[in-house]
Amino acid sequence: MQRERWVSRRYLIFAAIGSAIGLGNLWRFPYLSYKYGGGAFLIPWMIGLIVIGIPWLMLEFGMGRYFQRSVPGVFEGVGKKWEWVGWWAVFCAFLIDTYYTVVMAWSLYYAGVSLGLPWGVGKAGAAGAKQYFYGTVLGLSSGPDVLGGVQWPLVGLLALTWIAIFLIVFKGAKVIGKVAQWAVIIPWILLVVILVRGLTLPGAVGGLNYYLTPDFAALGNLDVWFAAVSQIAFTLSLGMAGMYAYGSFTAKKADVTNNVFITSFSNCATSFFAGFAVFSIVGFIMQSLAIPVDKVSTSSIGLAFITFPVAISMLPATQGIFGVLFFLCLFLLGLTSAFFLAYGGVISPLMDKFGISRIKATAIVTGTAFLLGLLFTSNGGLYWLDIVDRAVSFYGLLLTGVISTIVVGWIFGAEKLRQHLNETSDIKVGKWFNVVIKVVVPAGLLFVVIYGGLVPDMSKSYGGYPLWASSMIWVILAVTLGLSFIFQRIRTRDPKEVNEK
């Protein structure tokens, strides 16, 4: 059986850029920059990109292409006893997708209601946006122990999101590439529109000052380095299985290194650019409401679902349209990452291992992910979203990163990978690559896990949740790891033999 292929190189690049550009570019990067040294944050972030992100992405693409399989197959190829490493990443990718799509469902909800501005117009809207999100949309309960019922509109929109993902991926890489191209270009255009609107608002410059004024003293702070490295790993969608599969859909003669550079720089440029859009809006709110920056939510869910709605209410004109455009942009930013996780991260590995048809694997994965996602549409869902996120998109992503770079670097051989990359790539990778893969990347990621994760999480309960709830982080990691070993043990009539290089 011939391995599936991208129709052209362009589609691979758009699919990879699409997976990298996601919610994080808009709601994580600008905030980190503001918090950790303004413009000076660009320095650790670029260092993280060059020293950790790019070599790690070369590894994932390169190994996928070398073995022509998705991640479990890659690690099985390195040695039979390593297959679990791949499965662990697969399970983490699957769990991320169960809640990432819920955030997309919220975006659809807001895109739908924005024209009517149900949280209020003008100052009333500014006051009502928070209550609208937590109260009306989420129906948020008092804590993780009170699940309550599901929010039916969100269930409907979540179903819609998964149907969209199903339709995009069930024909494989060919259609994925074509959709990705538009799902990248349209949000780019929308970001420009949002930026122009933002910059022409009163107070914009004040916001940009917070985003960009450099504080070089911050570079002496370990927190800043922690933030830079973890953001690079997250933003390039590394450690989440899918990039191996995306690499495996390229022919043996295709260039890898160049694609990696194009993908990572386009992604990072998008983050930098999105920061202008976000902070011009933040500045506008500060000025209109005469409040200091720390009273404005500048990151994550608060930024998207409270700060932006506040800004929308306060706009002098075009409020509703602006809201629709912003939330559609958010949905599309999420979409390419969501189908990347679903297809590259889970469906392709299942097809490789079990030899099931694409449509069957797609139905199983989208169906179960939807069902699990119902948890996050419940009244206690937001708390669980936060806890599961910490488990898989922080610990899972970084730990699979540490283990996989060590296994590839020391057991498969960084030198062998380097030669494989150089065989077909325009840009030749020097011997520095070996040291980086074997030592620098795993050490950097381990620092992040320990310094930014274990130290704070062990000293006080994560997120201030009751201990039983925050302990679920470790339960989730243990269960996914256990399942990975079980999957490694399952022997199948191997469709992979046919794909053998």
- Residues found near ligand PHE in the complex (CB under 6 A): 19-20, 22-25, 96, 234-235, 237, 240, 337, 340-341
| 286 or 397: CB nearest ligand PHE | 397
- Location of structure tokens 């070993």: 485
Closest contact distance (angstroms) between CB of 421 and ligand PHE is: 22
Least CB distance to ligand PHE at residue 423 (A): 28
Measured distance CA(375)–CA(118) in Å, rounded: 26
Specify the length of the chain in residues: 501
Q: How far is CA 300 from CA 106, 169, 196, in A?
A: 13, 27, 22
CB of 239 to ligand PHE, least distance (A): 7
Q: How far is the CB of 180 from ligand PHE (least distance, A)?
A: 13
Task: Give the shortest CB-145-to-ligand PHE separation in angstroms.
Answer: 29
Residues 6+ apart with CB under 8 A from 358: 170, 171, 172, 347, 351
Cα–Cα distance measured from residue 366 to residue 362, given in angstroms and rounded to the nearest whole number: 6
Q: Are 167 and 178 in contact (CB under 8 A)?
A: no
Question: Which residue, 17 or 311, has its beta carbon nearer to ligand PHE?
Answer: 17
**How near is the Cβ of 466 to ligand PHE at its closest, in Å?**
28
The minimum distance between CB 98 and ligand PHE, in angstroms, equals 12
**Residue with Cβ nearer ligand PHE (333 or 472):** 333
Neighbours of 270 (CB within 10 A): 23
Give the DSSP per-residue string, 285-342: HHHHHT--GGGS--SHHHIIIIIHHHHHHH-SS-HHHHHHHHHHHHHHHHHHHHHIII
Our CB check for ligand PHE shows the closer of 241 and 282 to be 241
CB 408 within 8 A of CB 62: no
Q: State the SS3 of 4-31.
A: CCCCCHHHHHHHHHHHHCCHHHHHCHHH
Taking the least distance from each CB to ligand PHE, the nearer of 32 and 296 is 32
Q: Which is nearer to ligand PHE, 235 or 400 (CB)?
A: 235
CB closer to ligand PHE, 257 vs 270: 270
Q: How far is the CB of 250 from ligand PHE (least distance, A)?
A: 19
Which residue sits closest to ligand PHE, CB atoms considered? 22
Taking each helix axis from N to C end, the angle separating 152-169 and 358-373, rounded to the nearest 10 degrees, works out to 160
Q: Measuring CA to CA, which residue among 79, 44, 468, 61 is closest to residue 256?
A: 61
Among positive and negative, which fits the CA dihedral 222, 272, 248, 174?
positive
Shortest CB 297 distance to ligand PHE, Å? 18
Are the C-beta atoms of residues 40 and 211 closer than 8 Å to each other?
A: no
Q: Which residue has the tokens 């057991």?
A: 411
- Asked if 239 and 396 touch (Cβ cutoff 8 Å), the reply is yes
Nearer to ligand PHE, 75 or 94 (CB): 94
CB atoms inside a 10 Å sphere around CB 347: 31
CB 86 within 8 A of CB 265: no
Least Å distance between CB 216 and ligand PHE?
26
How many CB atoms are closer than 10 A to CB 215? Answer: 14
- Residue number with CB closer to ligand PHE (280 or 337): 337
- Please say which residue, 83 or 97, places its beta carbon nearer to ligand PHE: 97
Shortest reach from residue 310's CB to ligand PHE, in Å: 23
Q: Which two tokens stand for residue 148?
A: 């309550």
> Whose Cβ is closer to ligand PHE: residue 67's or residue 340's?
340
